[in-house]
Structure 1
Amino acid sequence: MEPIASLSGIAQGHGRHQVITGLDWDLGVGVHGLLGPNGAGKTTLLRTLATIAPPQEGALEICGRKVHSERTARAARPMIGCFSVFPAWGGCRAGTAPGSRGRTGSAQGVVTW
């Protein structure tokens, strides 16, 4: 089965500060989680996968389509969904998926603390 997202040689950061360097990763179908300390690059990686922040280096493919410009990023966004857990809000909340025109949904009770 082909990966739904493929990253090859991804480098990403903020200005001159590199947070991610040389990342190669194929994401298959399923649920994935990122764990790490503050500043490890979790949000930066998710922003890259969601095509919000283009990679500074490397190649990104979403559903077999290369994302290399704003035009190709816009074409990939309807195929991407994001979900975040915000414990401070007392439950789970579906994040806004790029291309969803601001629609959000509630998933209260799916995960309990």
Structure 2
Amino acid sequence: MVSLSSITTLAQAFDLFDRSEIDAFTLDDAVYLKLTNVIGDAETLSRVLAPVADYYASRIMQFDVGNGGFAQAAYNIPDFFGPAAQGYRTLGLTEAADLIDRAAAIATQERAKFTA
């Protein structure tokens, strides 16, 4: 099996996947890591194609929430809540999108307490 660190481009990642040399999880990690090098903020995210934005925003939200919960996501990537919810809606995961929207509202309320 090919190591994730040896994958240098998105084209290579998809080629390896097409040839069954990497599995879907490795492809997902490779795509996410490559996009992380390009998309650093919500402004940049707003300039990429919608399917890419949906994927990246939902994936970075998944990573942050999985790593430290919604509190960590609210601290690290507050501008990605809306795009992430949209990404989950695009995937048909409306309950997850609604949960992200509720977490965003709570985070906004909590931030207001500290900036008032």
- The higher-RCO structure (CA 8 Å, 6+ apart) is 1
Question: Which structure has more strand as a fraction of its residues?
Answer: 1
Q: TM-score normalised to the size of structure 1? A: 0.33
Question: Which structure has more helix as a fraction of its residues?
Answer: 2
Q: TM-score normalised to the size of structure 2? A: 0.32
* Bigger Rg over Cα: 2
